[in-house]
Amino acid sequence: MNIRSLLLGHSCRICGKIILGEAYQDWSGNLACKKHNACFCSSCGRYYGSKAKEMVPGEWLCETCVKNVPDKAGAEKTVSYIRTFYKQQGLDIKSHIMLKGVTAAQMANLHSAQARGFVELPPDTDGYHIVVRRYLSRAVLAMVLSHEMLHIWQYEHQIYPPDAICEGFCNLGSYLVMLSIHTPTAMGQIELLNRDTDIVYGDGFRKMKEMYEQKGFSSVITYMQSYKR
């Protein structure tokens, strides 16, 4: 979240009080007092207001996301949407994919506190399991699944590039899926991708995005296939 100095008259998204001095600003322009820095939606990253809902202890969703958390059938439709989208781009993910929903606390124990999803390895005889945070809105779930499904494509084809190329490619997929969905939340996820300063996820994404913009997605696929073992 960005910090900025403010003129008088701006109110805090969380407590409603007039902000004096500096405040934090999220990707959608919401402002919050510095003391509320941890009070953001665990799905989309917006600061949440008075209509937020605590899904489980410590995991809050803003009023937009809480109305858009898909059920199991909706999550499976999201997998199908992404699979079809990638196939239209020339990338076919053949494996059966199963989802395991977990809370943020469970994800922290299984992987890391920052993770929203990961692919369980090795796959079982039925296919791949993607472990994903349970309380994500449709757009954010699509963001996470479109990233993890490109890991599965790499595993299917025994493609093992350097970490920045691997994660940057997966983030490029998420970027393209978010563009296709094009809701405010989806575009907010793109903003977060663009702001990412991590040398693997952020710099890797910008490298792969530059290749995509210059040469197209088919050339990106060919480049990834050069790392086949």
The CB-side HSE value for 82 (13 A sphere, CA atoms) comes to 31
Question: Do 145 and 53 belong to one domain?
Answer: no
Question: Do 204 and 162 belong to one domain?
Answer: yes
Question: Do 83 and 61 belong to one domain?
Answer: no
Question: Do 210 and 143 belong to one domain?
Answer: yes
Share of the chain above pLDDT 70, in %: 95
Helices (DSSP H) in the chain: which residue ranges? 72-88, 104-110, 138-156, 163-181, 184-195, 201-215, 217-225
For the ranges 38-52, 145-159, 164-178, 208-222, the lowest mean pLDDT is seen at 38-52
The C-alpha angle with vertex 15 and arms to 44 and 187, in degrees rounded to 5, equals 20
Which residue among 45, 65, 85 closes a domain? 65
Question: Do 55 and 144 belong to one domain?
Answer: no
Q: In this structure, is residue 125 part of a structural domain? A: no
Q: In this structure, is residue 58 part of a structural domain? A: yes
The CB-side HSE value for 81 (13 A sphere, CA atoms) comes to 19
Q: In this structure, is residue 129 part of a structural domain? A: no
DSSP state of 97: E
For the ranges 40-49, 134-143, 148-157, 162-171, the lowest mean pLDDT is seen at 40-49
Q: In this structure, is residue 111 part of a structural domain? A: no
Q: In this structure, is residue 128 part of a structural domain? A: no
Q: What is the mean pLDDT of the chain?
A: 92
Please tell me the pTM assigned to this model: 0.89
Give 150-160 pLDDT, tens digit per residue.
Answer: 999 999 999 99
**How many domains, the chain?**
2
Give the 3-state secondary structure of 193-226: HHHCCCCCHHHHHHHHHHHHHHHCHHHHHHHHHC
Question: Do 215 and 144 belong to one domain?
Answer: yes
Q: Is a pLDDT exceeding 60 seen at residue 147?
A: yes
Question: Do 85 and 183 belong to one domain?
Answer: yes
Which residue among 16, 45, 65 closes a domain? 65
Question: Do 155 and 47 belong to one domain?
Answer: no
Nearest to 104 by CA among 66, 62, 57: 57
Question: Do 57 and 144 belong to one domain?
Answer: no
Give 93-141 pLDDT, tens digit per residue.
Answer: 999 999 999 999 999 999 999 999 999 999 989 999 999 999 999 999 9
Question: Do 192 and 171 belong to one domain?
Answer: yes
Q: In this structure, is residue 109 part of a structural domain? A: no
SS3 83: helix
How far apart, in Å, do the first and last CA atoms of the chain sit?
40
SS3 183: coil
Give 3-38 pLDDT, tens digit per residue.
Answer: 454 444 688 877 888 887 778 888 877 888 877 766
Residue 8 confidence (pLDDT): 47
211-220 — which CB contacts under 8 Å span 24+ positions? 212/172, 212/176, 217/89, 217/90, 217/91, 217/176, 218/90, 220/169, 220/172
Residue 5 confidence (pLDDT): 47
Question: Do 186 and 84 belong to one domain?
Answer: yes
Question: Do 83 and 170 belong to one domain?
Answer: yes
Which residue among 65, 82, 117 closes a domain? 65
Q: In this structure, is residue 89 part of a structural domain? A: yes
Residue 38 confidence (pLDDT): 62
Q: In this structure, is residue 172 part of a structural domain? A: yes
What token pair was written down for 100?
């395991």
- Domain residues for the domain of 168 are 74-93+137-225
